[in-house]
Amino acid sequence: MTTRFTIVGGRGFIGTALATSLRAAGHDVEIAAHRDDLAGRDLHHVVYASGIAASGAGDPGYAFEAHVAGVARVLAGARFASLLFLSSTRVYDRAPSTAEDAALTILPTAGELYRVSKIAGEALCLAHPSPAVRVARLSNVVGPSFDSPLFLSDVLRQAARDGRAAVRTLPASGKDYLSIGDACRYLTAIALDGRERVYNVATGRNLTNGAIYDALARLGVEIAIDPAAALAQTPEIDARRLHDAFGPPHDDVLAMVPGLYEAFVRHAKARV
């Protein structure tokens, strides 16, 4: 059965992959930007994917426009069967746990801009009376995101360009990584069949930087660890709600590293 989706922010890494996945499954997909005038329109199933990376949240006006004002306009002015707001597991920084019902701590400082704006967008969604308005808190989504400033993409980009990667985090560092394929599968399932208001979209286990360094070293990449490297360890994300509803992840992110490295090499060569 064909279902219609509107992806707000559908030209970014996750939005583009989700649109491709939905179309491959036979669904109709419309792409919109968060500044588009969507008032009065029937958007059917909305995935609000507009946003900025945590490392790029230096512009307060744009962060709140993308994470708060844009979704507020959709909630207030459009018609929809469901709306799924893409947030981040970064909201759990300093929280007592990573379960979906954990109390979240906000510090109103410049360094908290990304988290504060994501939490504000979540609050707008969760204040909406419809149970079909939901939040997906995504962990670190892995795929061929060639321009991403995030850790894994940065390491792969260096390795593809130079055959060497200079890193500033210790091998014991780690975080939760989820493949873009699993992310698309879970987001589609939540949009159409979710029964909870908030889901952590994650593997539920951390992958260490050391395992990534070792996988790249086996491919001939030299890993240069800064003598002043720091430990960057994030708590494991509680993904039981997601997995109980929609099953465990299909992809092993560590096993994806060789293929991702090859994709980054091809991309680097194409740009020369």
Does residue 93 come out as left (phi exceeding 0), alpha (psi in the -120 to 50 range) or beta?
beta
pLDDT (mean) for 227-248: 96
pLDDT (mean) for 49-71: 81
Model confidence at 214: pLDDT above 70:
yes
How many angstroms separate the most distant Cα atoms in the chain?
57
pLDDT (mean) for 201-229: 97
For residue range 99-147, what is the model confidence (pLDDT) as tens digits?
999 999 988 887 888 899 999 999 999 999 999 999 999 999 999 999 8
pLDDT (mean) for 157-169: 95
Class of domain 4-140+176-201: alpha beta
For residue range 183-200, what is the model confidence (pLDDT) as tens digits?
999 999 999 999 999 999
Which pLDDT value is given to residue 147? 87
CATH placement of domain 146-175+205-235+252-270: 3.90.25
For residue range 6-44, what is the model confidence (pLDDT) as tens digits?
999 999 999 999 999 999 999 999 999 999 999 999 999
200: burial class by Cβ within 10 Å (0-12, 13-18, 19+)?
A: buried
Q: Where are the domains of the chain?
A: 4-140+176-201, 146-175+205-235+252-270
One fold for 4-140+176-201 and 146-175+205-235+252-270: no
With bands split at pLDDT 50, 70 and 90, how would you rate the model's confidence at 1? low
The whole-model pTM stands at: 0.95
